Amino acid sequence: MIFFLINDITLVKDTSSRAVYQAERKGESLWSVLMENKLIVLYILAVSGYYAVYQMYNFLMPLDLARLHGESSSVIFGSITSVNCISVVIFTPLITRMFSKVPESVKTMFGQLLLLSGFAVFWLSAGRIPFYYVAIIVLTWGEIFNVLAERPYLTNRMPASHRGRINGLADVMRTGIAGGYQMMIGFIYQARASEGAWKTVLATGMFIVLLCIILIVRDRRVYGNLY
């Protein structure tokens, strides 16, 4: 039905000054493109770090809930994930509209700060169940900011001819860093218990925030046409 209602299927090419960074560079290697666009590498590292920290939602939080609440932990965690899903539905359109003019680099930093805040609330309120739901709502806000920023940031700054390769590299780096980080936190949890693990997670998150600040400052200089 949609096929018959649409008369014009011609691709529309963006010719504005904002699209200058998306110009195709056929014949050039991925390495050469990344060397000329080092901020893309920095962004991929920052986002990979974000996901490494974010996965503690499904790793460290359940471990702590089991330690604190025993057999009731599965019910509590199930209700927490339900709040996460509901919050995504409610807040995604609101945040999208309210922060539509905020640069992607700033949204990424907001996402990391909110993620850290959510984890901090969870850790500091250990044993007080109502605060778990406050923590997951704050964490979900961070999740939304990151999702809204990630693909637009990369798409607007990379040559169209290299999008597939750069996105593939980003996915591989994200998976590798997240896997290695989870193993490290597991060892720390065994050696230094919950407190040592959470302190490591929060410290890692603050380092990623620092990367985001560097990204924000340099991004405006390098990709000025996007501002």
Site of tokens 């302190």: 199
Quick: pLDDT tens for 41-93: 999 999 999 999 999 999 999 999 999 999 999 999 999 999 999 999 999 99
Of 197, 219, 182, 189, the C-alpha closest to 49 is 182
Quick: pLDDT tens for 175-204: 999 999 999 999 999 999 999 999 999 999
Res 125 pLDDT > 80: yes
What is the residue extent of each domain of the chain? Answer: 37-226
Class of domain 37-226: mainly alpha
What are the tokens at 121?
Answer: 């609330």
Summarize the chain as % helix, strand, coil (round to 5): 85, 0, 15
